[in-house]
Amino acid sequence: MMKQKLLARPSLSCFTFTAMTMALTLALTACTHTSHKASVDSAKQSAKHSTAQYYGTDDPFVKEAVYFVMTDRFVDGDESNNYPEQGGNLPSFDLPLYAENGDTANVGYLGGDLKGVLDNAQYISNMGFTAVWLTPIVENPDQQFSGGEAIAYGGAFKDGGKSAYHGYWASNFYKIDEHYPSENLDYKTYTNKMRDQFGIKTVFDVVANHGSPSFSMPVEQDQFGKLYDLNGRLVADHQNLAPEKLDPNNPLHQFYHTTPDIMQLSNLNEDNPQLRDYLINSYLYWIEQGADAFRIDTIKHVPHHFWQEMAARVRAQYPDFFMFAESFDYNSNFIAQHTLAKNGGISVLDFPGQKAITRVFETPGSDYASLLSYLHLTHGPYANPYELTTFYDNHDMPRMNASDLGFIDANNWLFTSRGIPVVYQGSEIGFMRGKAEHQGNRNYLGQENIEIAKSHPIQQQLSAIANIRKNVPALQNGLQVNLEFKGDHAAFYRVIQKGDIAQTALVLLNKSDKSHRFEITQYLDKGTWTEMRFEQQAQTITTGDALLADVAGHSVNVWVKEGAVVNDALKNELSKLMAFK
What residues contact residue 230 under an 8 Å CB cut-off, 6+ apart? 174, 175, 282, 285
Q: What is the DSSP string of 208-272?
A: -SEEEE-B--SS--TTTTEEE-TTS-EEEE-TB--GGG--TTSGGGTTB-SS--STTEEEB-TTS
The CA distance from 517 to 551, in Å, is 6
Count of CA atoms in the C-beta half-sphere (13 A) of 81: 24
Q: What is the mean pLDDT of residues 345-364?
A: 98
57: nearest Cα among 576, 416, 492, 581: 581
The CA distance from 424 to 493, in Å, is 27
Query: Which band of pLDDT confidence, cut at 50, 70 and 90, is reported for residue 145?
Result: very high
Q: How many CB atoms lie within 10 A of CB 126?
A: 19
Top-confidence residue, 272 or 6: 272
- The whole-number pLDDT of residue 26 equals 38
The CA distance from 536 to 470, in Å, is 19
The answer, yes or no, to whether residue 291 has pLDDT greater than 60, is yes
Q: How many CB atoms lie within 10 A of CB 46?
A: 18
The answer, yes or no, to whether residue 119 has pLDDT greater than 90, is yes
- The whole-number pLDDT of residue 31 equals 39
The answer, yes or no, to whether residue 388 has pLDDT greater than 50, is yes
- The whole-number pLDDT of residue 173 equals 98
Top-confidence residue, 252 or 536: 252
- The whole-number pLDDT of residue 23 equals 38
- The whole-number pLDDT of residue 535 equals 81
The CA distance from 389 to 382, in Å, is 12
The answer, yes or no, to whether residue 41 has pLDDT greater than 80, is no
Q: Taking all residues of the chain, what is their mean pLDDT, rounded to a whole number?
A: 93
121, 127, 130, 134: CA torsion to nearest 10: -60
Amino acid at the residue 553 = G
Q: Is there a contact between 438 and 97 (Cβ–Cβ < 8 Å)?
A: yes
204: nearest Cα among 179, 187, 228: 187
Q: Is there a contact between 252 and 208 (Cβ–Cβ < 8 Å)?
A: no
- The whole-number pLDDT of residue 10 equals 31
Query: Which band of pLDDT confidence, cut at 50, 70 and 90, is reported for residue 14?
Result: very low
Using alpha carbons only, what angle is made at residue 112 by residues 267 and 205, rounded to the nearest 5 degrees?
A: 35
296: nearest Cα among 382, 394, 389, 205: 205
Top-confidence residue, 8 or 520: 520
Kindly report the backbone phi and psi dihedral angles of residue 396, in degrees, each rounded to the nearest multiple of 5, phi listed first: -105, 5
The answer, yes or no, to whether residue 146 has pLDDT greater than 70, is yes
The answer, yes or no, to whether residue 39 has pLDDT greater than 90, is no
The CA distance from 165 to 218, in Å, is 22
H or E, element range at 26:
helix 22-30
Pairing mode of beta strands 201-206, 210-213: unpaired
The CA distance from 469 to 417, in Å, is 10
* pLDDT (tens digit per residue) in 423-449: 999 999 999 999 999 999 999 999 999
- The whole-number pLDDT of residue 43 equals 53
- The whole-number pLDDT of residue 50 equals 53
Q: What is the DSSP string of 340-372?
A: SGGGT--EEB-HHHHHHHHHHHTSTT--GGGGG
With a pLDDT cut of 90, the percent of the chain lying above it is 90
Q: What is the mean pLDDT of residues 473-501?
A: 98
Amino acid at the residue 435 = K
210: nearest Cα among 262, 284, 275, 160: 262
The answer, yes or no, to whether residue 11 has pLDDT greater than 90, is no
Q: Is there a contact between 531 and 557 (Cβ–Cβ < 8 Å)?
A: yes
